[in-house]
Chain A
Amino acid sequence: MQVNGQTHPHREGLTLHALLRELNVQPERVAVAVGDDFYPGARVPDRPLEAHDTIEIVRIIGGG
């Protein structure tokens, strides 16, 4: 499984909610993509994750 460009261990039964807890990411003020599905952080569904999933967790920072 890829999380923000890094390989992350996948285990049977892992869900998106559990992954965010494991990574200590507060869902507010972030966005999450699982493959081509895009979710506001506060409305991330607790979907099961597969070993081949690519996950991005992003936030807003300063830029021009």
Chain B
Amino acid sequence: MPAQDPLTIGGRTFTSRLMLGTGKFCDFGVMREALEASGTQIVTVAIRRVELSAPGHAGLLDALDLDRYQLLPNTAGCRTAEEAVRVARLARAATGVNWVKLEVIPDARWLLPDPVGTLRAAETLVGDGFTVLPYVQPDAVLARALERAGCATVMPLASPIGSGRGLRTGELLRTVLDGATVPIVVDAGLGVPSDAAQALEGGADAVLVNTAIAEAHDPVGMAHAFALGVQAGRAAFLAGRMAEREGASPSSPVVGVPRLPDPEAVDVG
């Protein structure tokens, strides 16, 4: 792998291709250690109302080294473009960061994103100066439209959010990768490091993982494992995979193999 293989998003350059979410961790200490072990440089967070009946409990922002990580607030929970735009603006006010992981998800069962609402919200937010990273289904036509709208990445799902079912959208992902002009970040549904490796091997530029690490028996160990999976996948992509064949093809030469005399052969000499 070349010594320099940076990932550039919204004018910022990163050496890690693994983004991490901060949900579902049992405590901030484990979360911080997992972030460290993953080598991530981009960290997602969510925005929620302050609980007015019990205010004052410790905020996540205090637990994060903001000089070290690019914060990526999300619009999770927003069902319409209008809600997502509003939450993005609140996130910018709360963090001073103008990056947003745009989620417009009206479907509570499968958490599938609304492509029309996502594009509309993306257009508004790009116009408002945001660096927009939209979460979408792997749809090449939508991906190109989001690129034209000025999005910094496109983030197609591997399988439903939090399912850990791995890369179930590989064929569609290929169509999103073909001709992409912005980084493609596979987000949602990755369960194990080989899922991440598979995404990177196929040409994805990065992956975003949360539940697979937070719900692992050892989140810090799994964060390290995902870092290795991403590195392996990227190295394999750059090295270029062999062509697939229908049948077998021996690796050793087929001529000159030492043979025993054939017991069936009759010596008539």
Q: Is the CB of A60 within 8 A of B21?
A: no
Q: Which residues of A contact B (CB under 8 A)?
A: 3-6, 23-26, 29-33, 38-41, 56-64
Main secondary structure of the interface of A (DSSP, over half): strand
B interface, size bucket: 35 or more
| 16 examples of A-B residue contacts, CB within 8 angstroms | A29-B59, A31-B90, A33-B90, A41-B93, A41-B94, A59-B61, A60-B94, A62-B21, A62-B24, A62-B25, A62-B46, A63-B22, A64-B24, A64-B46, A64-B161, A64-B208
Contact status of A62 and B31, CB under 8 A, knowing A5-B49, A57-B49, A57-B52: yes
CA distance A23 to B49 in the complex (A): 13
Contact status of A4 and B49, CB under 8 A, knowing A29-B61, A62-B60: yes
Q: Is the CB of A59 within 8 A of B22?
A: no
Contact status of A31 and B24, CB under 8 A, knowing A3-B52, A62-B31, A64-B211: no
CA distance A4 to B22 in the complex (A): 24
Contact status of A61 and B55, CB under 8 A, knowing A30-B94, A33-B89, A40-B94: no
Contact status of A58 and B52, CB under 8 A, knowing A33-B93, A64-B44, A64-B208: no
Q: Give the shortest distance, in Å, between B19 (CB) and chain A (any CB).
A: 9
Which among A59, A61, A63 has the greatest number of chain B C-beta atoms within 10 A? A63
Contact status of A40 and B93, CB under 8 A, knowing A3-B52, A58-B47: yes
Q: Does B191 contact A (CB under 8 A)?
A: no
Residue of B nearest to A25 (CB): B55
Residues of A with C-beta under 8 A to B60: 59-62
Residue of A nearest to B77 (CB): A63
Contact status of A62 and B23, CB under 8 A, knowing A4-B50, A6-B52: yes
Q: Does B86 contact A (CB under 8 A)?
A: yes
Residues of A with C-beta under 8 A to B247: none
Residues of A with C-beta under 8 A to B161: 64
Which of B23, B59, B93, B211 is close to A39, meaning CB atoms less than 8 Å apart? B93
Which among B23, B76, B90 has the greatest number of chain A C-beta atoms within 10 A? B90
Q: Is the CB of B95 within 8 A of A60?
A: yes
Q: Is the CB of B46 within 8 A of A61?
A: yes
Residue of B nearest to A63 (CB): B46
Q: Does B73 contact A (CB under 8 A)?
A: yes
Residues of B with C-beta under 8 A to A25: 50, 52, 55-56
Q: Give the shortest distance, in Å, between B76 (CB) and chain A (any CB).
A: 5
Residue of A nearest to B95 (CB): A60
Residue of A nearest to B74 (CB): A63
Residues of B with C-beta under 8 A to A32: 93
Q: Is the CB of A59 within 8 A of B52?
A: no
Which of A33, A40, A58, A64 is close to B50, meaning CB atoms less than 8 Å apart? A58
Q: Is the CB of A56 within 8 A of B25?
A: no
Q: Give the shortest distance, in Å, between B73 (CB) and chain A (any CB).
A: 7
Residue of A nearest to B54 (CB): A24
CA distance A29 to B22 in the complex (A): 17
